[in-house]
Amino acid sequence: MKKAIISGVTGQDGSYLSEFLIAKGYEVHGLMRRSSVFNTERIDHLTNSYEKNEIFNLHYADLTDTSSLRNIIQKVEPDEFYNLGAMSHVGVSFLTAESVLNINSLGAYRVLDILREISPRCKYYQASSSEMFGASPPPQNENTAFMPQSPYGISKVAAFHTTKYFRNANKMFASNGILFNHESPRRGLNFVTRKITYNAAKIIAGLEKKIYLGNLDTRRDWGFAGDYVKAMWMILQHNSPDDFVISTGGNNSIKDFLEKVFSLLNLDWQKYVEANTPRYMRKTEVESLQGDSSKAKKILGWEPDHSFDDLCKMMLESDLKKFNISFDQAQEIAKKLK
Ligand code: NAP
Ligand code: F7E
C-alpha cells in the first residue's frame, strides 16, 4: 500500500485528492493546523469512514513549523508528498505578505529539505499556480515568463523554483503542477465563483438582495477541482519529474460567470450585483489567464472532463441544496422575483 502525505488536507483540493488517493488504494496522511473553530467539514466523511482502519489519518502540523513536519515525515515514511498547504487567497495576500511568503515559499523549502535529508526517494508535488504568469498575456504554457502581480504570485514563483532546485541539485523527484483556477461546490466562500453561486442561492432563498463584488472584467480559465487532483497524481506517476500546466483552455470574465449562473435561473444578474466595491478591488490585477495544457495532454494523457457550463450548474445546484431548494423550485421562485 502506497503512503501519501497531503499538506492542506482541510482545503478544497486536499479533500478531493484524499478521496482520489483512497480510491486508488493509498494510505493517506493529512496535515492540518489547529483552528479555533472546526474546519474539517470537507473531510469529515473520510474521517468517519476510514479513520478506524488507518486508511485516512490526520496529524497536526504547520508549514511554518519545521519540527512538526519532520516528525510526521519520519513517522509516516511517505512514498509521495503533495504540498497543497498555502495561504491561497490572492486578495488577502496583499495584506499579509510576510506570512504568505513564510507559508507558501519557505513551507515548500522546509518540506523539500526534510525529504532530502530523511526520505530522498519520496516523490514531491508542488501546488504551483497560474497566478505566477501574472501580467504575461494569454495563452500561457510552461515556457511563458512569470510576471507575478501579488505577494501570493511571488510566493508561488519562489516555491516553483525551489522545487526545480531540489530536483536539479539533489536529484529528487520534485514536480510542479501549474494549475489554473479550479472550483467546485467545496470552493471557499471568498473566491469569486463560490461567492456568486452561494449568494445567488441566498437571493433565491430570500436571505440576500445584492452581491457586492470587485472587478468584473478580469478573465480566468476555470475548471473543476475533481478533474485537477487527478492531474496532480498523474504528474507524480510520470517516469521523470517535470512541470506541467493544467487548464481547460477556456477564458471567461467574471461577467460571463454571472451571466451563466443567473441565466440558469432566468434572472438578469445586473439587477443583483454591485461592482467595483472598494474592499474587493486589488492593487494590481491579473487581467487574463488562459492555459495551454497541450504538454499534459500529450505526455500524461490528461484532459478535463467538465466544462465551464457543467461547473456553473454543479456549483449553483449544490448551493441551492444548502437552502433545501431544488433546481426546479429555484426556477419557480425566480419567476416571482422578476
Ligand atoms: P484552500 O482551499 O485555500 O486550502 C489551503 C489549505 O492550506 C487549507 O487546508 C489550509 O488550512 C492550509 N494551510 C494554510 N496555511 C497553512 C499552514 N501554515 N500550515 C499548513 N497548512 C496550511 O486552497 P485550494 O484551492 O485547495 O488549493 C490547494 C493548493 O493549490 C494551494 O497551495 C493553492 O495555493 C494552490 N492552487 C490553487 C488553485 C485553485 O484555483 N484552487 C490554483 C492553483 C494553485 P486551513 O483550513 O487551516 O486554513
Ligand atoms: O478571483 C475578481 C478578482 O479570488 C478571481 C486562487 O485559487 O486562483 C485563485 O486566485 C478574479 C480576480 O481567484 C471579487 O479580482 C471580483 O480578478 O476567485 P478569485 P484568483 O485571484 O484568480 C489562482 C489560480 C490561485 O492559485 C489562487 O490560490 O475575480 N473578483 N470580485 C473577485 N474576487 C474575489 N475573491 N471576491 C470578489 O468579490
Q: What are the φ/ψ torsions at residue 317 (nearest 5 degrees)?
A: -60, -45
pLDDT for position 338: 77
Instruction: Name 75's Cβ contacts closer than 8 Å, sequence gap at least 6.
Output: none
Q: Is the dihedral of CA 97, 99, 103, 105 positive or negative?
A: positive
Bridge partners (DSSP) of residue 60 are 32
pLDDT for position 117: 98
Residue nearest (by alpha carbon) to ligand 1 atom 4: 11
Bridge partners (DSSP) of residue 30 are 6, 58
pLDDT tens digits for range 92-128: 999 999 999 999 999 999 999 999 999 999 999 999 9
Q: What are the φ/ψ torsions at residue 30 (nearest 5 degrees)?
A: -100, 140
- Ligand 1 centroid–CA 10 distance in Å is 8
Ligand at shortest distance from the CA of 107: 1
CA distance 331 to 334: 5
Residue nearest (by alpha carbon) to ligand 1 atom 14: 86
Ligand 1: lining residues by beta carbon, under 6 Å: 7-8, 10-14, 33, 35, 39, 62-64, 84-88, 103, 127, 129, 179, 181-182, 188
Is there an atom of ligand 2 within 6 Å of 215 CB? Answer: yes
For ligand 2, what atom is nearest to the CA of residue 215?
16
pLDDT for position 217: 98
Is there an atom of ligand 2 within 6 Å of 249 CB? Answer: no
pLDDT for position 153: 98
User: In this structure, are strands 252-253 and 219-220 parallel, antiparallel, or unpaired?
Assistant: antiparallel
Residue nearest (by alpha carbon) to ligand 1 atom 46: 10
Is there an atom of ligand 2 within 6 Å of 88 CB? Answer: yes
Whether 152 is a known active-site residue: answer yes
The answer to whether the CB of 173 falls within 8 A of the CB of 119 is no
Is there an atom of ligand 2 within 6 Å of 162 CB? Answer: no
- Ligand 2 centroid–CA 19 distance in Å is 25
- Ligand 2 centroid–CA 336 distance in Å is 32
- Ligand 2 centroid–CA 224 distance in Å is 15
The answer to whether the CB of 127 falls within 8 A of the CB of 179 is yes
CA distance 196 to 316: 9
pLDDT for position 53: 83
Residue nearest (by alpha carbon) to ligand 2 atom 34: 192
Q: In the 3-class helix/strand/coil scheme, how is the chain assigned residue by residue?
A: CCEEEEECCCCHHHHHHHHHHHHCCCEEEEEECCCCCCCCCCCHHHHHHHCCCCCEEEEECCCCCHHHHHHHHHHHCCCEEEECCCCCCHHHHCCCHHHHHHHHHHHHHHHHHHHHHHCCCCEEEEEEEHHHCCCCCCCECCCCCCCCCCHHHHHHHHHHHHHHHHHHHHCCCEEEEEECCEECCCCCCCCHHHHHHHHHHHHHCCCCCCEECCCCCCEECCEEHHHHHHHHHHHHHCCCCCEEEECCCCCEEHHHHHHHHHHCCCCCHHHCEECCCHHHCCCCCCCECCECCHHHHHHHCCCCCCCHHHHHHHHHHHHHHHCCCCHHHHHHHHHHHC
CA distance 131 to 225: 16
Tens-binned pLDDT, residue by residue, of the chain (338 aa): 999 999 999 999 999 999 999 999 999 999 999 999 999 999 999 999 987 789 999 999 999 999 999 999 999 999 999 999 999 999 999 999 999 999 999 999 999 999 999 999 999 999 999 999 999 999 999 999 999 999 999 999 999 999 999 999 999 999 999 999 999 999 999 999 999 999 999 999 999 999 999 999 999 999 999 999 999 999 999 999 999 999 999 999 999 999 999 999 999 999 999 999 999 999 999 999 999 999 999 999 999 999 999 999 999 999 999 999 999 999 999 999 97
Catalytic residue among 7, 88, 129, 288: 129
- Ligand 2 centroid–CA 75 distance in Å is 37
Record the pTM.
0.98
CA distance 69 to 64: 9
CA distance 59 to 296: 32
For ligand 1, what atom is nearest to the CA of residue 10?
9
Is there an atom of ligand 2 within 6 Å of 276 CB? Answer: no
pLDDT for position 52: 79
Instruction: Name 51's Cβ contacts closer than 8 Å, sequence gap at least 6.
Output: 57, 58
Catalytic residue among 27, 80, 131, 183: 131
CA-only gyration radius of the chain, Å: 20
